[in-house]
Amino acid sequence: MHTPAPNPGWDWKSEGFMEAPAVVLVARPLTLYRVWGGTASETGNPARPGVCLSFQQPKTRKEAEGLFSVFEWGNACRHVTPFQAMAGATLFVGKAHPGDFFDAGLGKPGSQVFVEMKTMRTLVRKMGPAIALIDDLKGFTVVPGRDPGRRFSS
């Protein structure tokens, strides 16, 4: 079920959305994927309002950055972990902002799924081990905090 997002108490722009996300209420268990590494942890930063996941499972670091534009947030895109959102979970879904350092050669940004921290703790479960993303960026290293306004990854 898609509805316009009400004011959730956090700023969608600061969470990396291109525009206000839609609210989606999960009707049956749904697989989501979390790309992480660098300053981004597998289950997110508990000091943040939520965690960014995706419906897509990238295979490479380049594909992950192209879809989610997260390097500037300190996310090195080293791993992907499957999670399952249970029925009743509320998700915020929208297009990922291409970021301040977007490289058009990476393709068009994809959709991202934002899960508020309370929902992440109660209605989202890790479904398997982390999988290393193929390093197709020749050892490119993410420099956390290169954009002073975005130091902490969700």
Give CA angle at 136 (135, 137), nearest 5°.
95
Nearest Cα residue to 125 out of 37, 51, 21 = 51
Radius of gyration of the chain (CA): 14
Which three-class secondary structure state does DSSP give residue 121? helix
Q: Residue 149: its pLDDT value, please?
A: 43
Give the per-residue pLDDT at 73.
Answer: 82
**Do 124 and 86 meet the contact criterion of CB atoms below 8 Å apart?**
yes
Pairing of strands 75-85, 131-132: antiparallel
DSSP-assigned letter for residue 71 = G
Task: For 5-38, write each residue's pLDDT tens digit.
Answer: 556 789 999 898 989 999 999 999 999 999 999 8
- Average pLDDT, consecutive stretches of 10 residues, N- to C-terminus, the chain (154 residues): 62 91 97 94 94 96 88 88 98 87 70 96 97 86 52 46
27 closest CA partner among 123, 96, 105: 123
pLDDT given for residue 145 in this prediction: 52
C-alpha span between 9 and 24 (Å, rounded): 17
Q: How far apart are CA 136 and CA 154, in angstroms?
A: 24
CA within 13 Å, CB half, 44: 25
Tokens of 84: 């399952």
Instruction: Specify the pTM.
Output: 0.85
What number of other Cβ atoms are within 10 A of residue 24's Cβ?
18
